[in-house]
Structure 1
Amino acid sequence: MERKLWGTAAGKQVELFTLDLGQGNSAAITNFGAALVSLYVRDRSGEVADVTLGYDSVQEYEQCTKYLGVVVGRYANRIAGAQFTLGGKEYQLAANDGRNHLHGGPGGFAKRVWDPEVISTETGEALKLSYFSPDGEEGYPGNLQVEVVYSPTGTGGLRIDYFASCDQDTVLNLTNHAYFNLAGHGSGPILDHELEICADFYTPADAESIPTGEILKVEGTPMDFGSKTAIGARIDADFCQLRYAGGYDHNWVLRRTGSGLELAARVEHAPTGRVMEVLTTKPGIQFYTGNYLDGVAGKGGAKYEWRGGFCLETQFFPDSPHQAHFPCPILRAGERYAHSTIYQFSTK
């Protein structure tokens, strides 16, 4: 694995690691925000392109407000009213998305320097990133030890394993916030990508992107990606959920048969032949179409315009601490949090 000094943040050394994924693919990861900086993937003709949005420097990640490629936590997505009750005690969080809490708050995991370690796995060298989140950080209870492991799948893909334990009951929902564009980052809108999501239901949200608590069928609505459909086919439909979010920014309820890794979504880009499959152990996936990208200055002078990237964030459902019928995001004291996601690549 290649590694180089990339800068400093909060008085700590920040490095950039290049992970060989095999089959000509590779990933660049930094220990600032545990961020996936670049993901180089071959197309059907063997040409390599970087298919994730990102930045060229640590300073840009420090200032980033779009969460490009970072690990977010303690709680990915939104918690209504920036508070939750656990064990009869109310915990107040930062209101950093209107009156609500988003992606762990302004001092969440995306803004922390993680401790790196190169480790060996059956599929090759991997990168383990560790972070200790003290009791009360961003308002959350308990001393939490977190590990994120980036490793090759052995077949050209990238695997992310999330582990954690805490000395108190807490809520935890970790994900990676990578934005993808299979044409190559900075290549314009992703509306021609064809998407399939393995879900029959989704959780509708209000105008603040907070789930209403309903679990509705996707059938007969623009939320139906049960079969391969262009992202742009219905994105501007006269449908309240799309009007609220300015496009897609919703949680789908994945069809699951067990607790292991299962296919959650598949994306195809016909012009290049690139195919990405997302597998996960999580119960939900947030599909987001870059509705708030607004000419962000990215890597290599690229400009990330509106709908210039899409996210497929594997997760517990948004605002689950307030929705008892959603899958439970509580990590009990002494228990082990362990979830995995794979981004697998191929061509057709």
Structure 2
Amino acid sequence: MTPVPFGKLPDGREVHCLSLQSGRLSAKVLTLGAILQDLRIEGVDHPVVLGSPDLAAYLGSARYFGAIVGRFANRIGRGRFTLDGKTYRTDLNFRDRHTLHGGGEGTDMQIWQVQSLAPDRAILALELPDGHMGFPGAMRITAEIALIGDGLSFNLTARTDAPTVCSLAHHGFFDLDGRGDIRNHSLMIAAEHYLPVDDDLIPTGEIRPVDGGDFDFRSPRRIGRAGYDHNFCLSDSQRPLRPVARLTGESGLSMQVETTACGLQFYDGAYMQDVPGLDGRRYGPHAGLALETQHWPDAPNQSGFPDAVLRPGQVFSETTIYRFIA
């Protein structure tokens, strides 16, 4: 249960690995980015998440794999937003003109501090200073990662000392079959609408019905080749914990996603390239998919999207559970 060394970053900072176990599930979590590095199910002969044994990969080709991303998950168009009459400019780390996952040194690149560690759960914390990556407000973030019965839960909280924007998400990649291609998985998403995007993957502002097209996953169907990196609109504000998606592999193993969040980003992993993976695997395009529960992307710039502002005295609180069903 004691954290063990996993490696050192180029600047000398040490990264540790935490091992969790409960019932049929076992997991490994890194202090870098609160990364879920591995997840195993007893009786399943392969990991069900994509991870890497190589710390250097998390700085390059495996960037964001399994990490808690923020302080604002997903994209902020043009790396700017206006809050209470003041315009803020954030780090341009996506195509040199937009902000992605909180900037080049977002929460995934930070060393989180272990607050408590038990056999089945860990609580990690992170302090972001005022002005970090251009965002206002000093922010304290906590992540409780726990194995609970048949599932893996993430309880994320944040507080700020000045008005800011906040969206935190677990950016795990899943492959329930271990075959290196998720396009034959079946997926259901309980969403009536999704967000179309422009050529830079920034939402256009339209909230489009999914009716009958490639984005209609209201009934389970094969993922296929349509190409997905889009937000599905679960609700117009946070809701009590409820099931929102179900992924099923050809093996029959299923994963149900439950969340309090208002959005779900589905990314089919199309742009993965030769990532060194677990058990000697090399991950290529579509080796895994992400189902990221979060605020809607670019919400700070879109008046018609759910509010993503966090103010002093308020608590950002979001829970997501991934339940596995054989």
Under a length normalisation based on structure 2, what TM-score does the superposition of the two structures give? 0.95
C-alpha contact (below 8 Å) 1:141/1:169 kept by paired residues: yes
Query: Is residue 209 from structure 1 mapped to residue 206 from structure 2 by the alignment?
Result: no
2:176 corresponds to: 182
Contact 2:76 2:99 in 1 (8 A): yes
TM-fit CA distance, 1:140:
0.5
1:296 offset after TM fit, Å? 1.7
- Between the aligned partners of 1:82 and 1:329, the Cα distance in structure 2 is 16
Kindly indicate whether residue 10 of structure 2 is the aligned counterpart of residue 30 of structure 1: no
Distance 1:78 1:255, change over 3 A: closer
Structure 2 CA distance for aligned equivalents of residues 118 and 5 of structure 1: 17
CA contact (8 A) 2:236 2:306 kept: no
Report if aligned partners of 1:251, 1:317 keep a CA contact under 8 Å in 2: yes
Deviation at 1:258, TM superposition (A): 7.2
Partners of 1:222 and 1:342 in 2: CA distance: 26
Aligned to 1:295: 274
Cα deviation code 1:275-305 (max 9, x no counterpart): 1001000001000000111222223331111
Give the counterpart of 1:115 among 113, 116, 122. Answer: 113
Q: Is the 8 A contact 2:28 2:36 kept in 1?
A: yes
Answer yes or no: is the 8 Å Cα contact 2:57–2:276 preserved in 1.
Answer: no
SS at match of 1:199: coil
| Structure 1 residue 341 corresponds to structure 2 residue 320 | yes
List alignment gaps of at least 5 residues for structure 2.
none
Identity of aligned residues (%): 38
Q: Check whether the contact 1:20–1:27 (CA below 8 A) recurs between aligned residues.
A: yes
- Alpha-carbon deviation of 1:256? 8.1
Deviation at 1:18, TM superposition (A): 1.3
Contact 1:194 1:229 in 2 (8 A): yes
Instruction: Report the Cα distance in structure 1 between the residues aligned to 2:325 and 2:2, rounded to whole angstroms.
Output: 24
Structure 1 CA distance for aligned equivalents of residues 282 and 64 of structure 2 = 16
1:47-83 Cα deviation digits (max 9, x unpaired): 3421111111333223345411111111110000011
Deviations 1:159-217, CA, capped at 9 Å, x for gaps:
00001100000001000111110012xx2210110000011111111111111111111
Match runs of 1:37-48 below 5 Å: 37-42=37-42, 46-48=43-45
Correspondence for 1:164: 158
TM-score (norm 1): 0.89
Gapped regions of structure 1 (runs ≥ 5): 237-246
Q: Does structure 1 conserve the Cα–Cα contact (< 8 Å) formed by 2:61 and 2:273?
A: no
Distance 2:7 2:315 in 1: 33
Q: CA RMSD in A?
A: 1.7
Tell me whether 1:95 sits opposite 2:92 in the alignment: yes
Call closer, same or farther: CA 1:191–1:2 in 2, change over 3 Å.
Answer: farther
Aligned partners of 1:71 and 1:334: how far apart in 2?
23
SS, match of residue 130 in structure 1 = strand
Q: For residue 284 of structure 1, what is the aligned residue in structure 2?
A: 263
SS in 1 for 2:174: coil
Partner amino acid, structure 2, of 1:315 = Q
- Secondary structure at 2:27 match in 1: strand
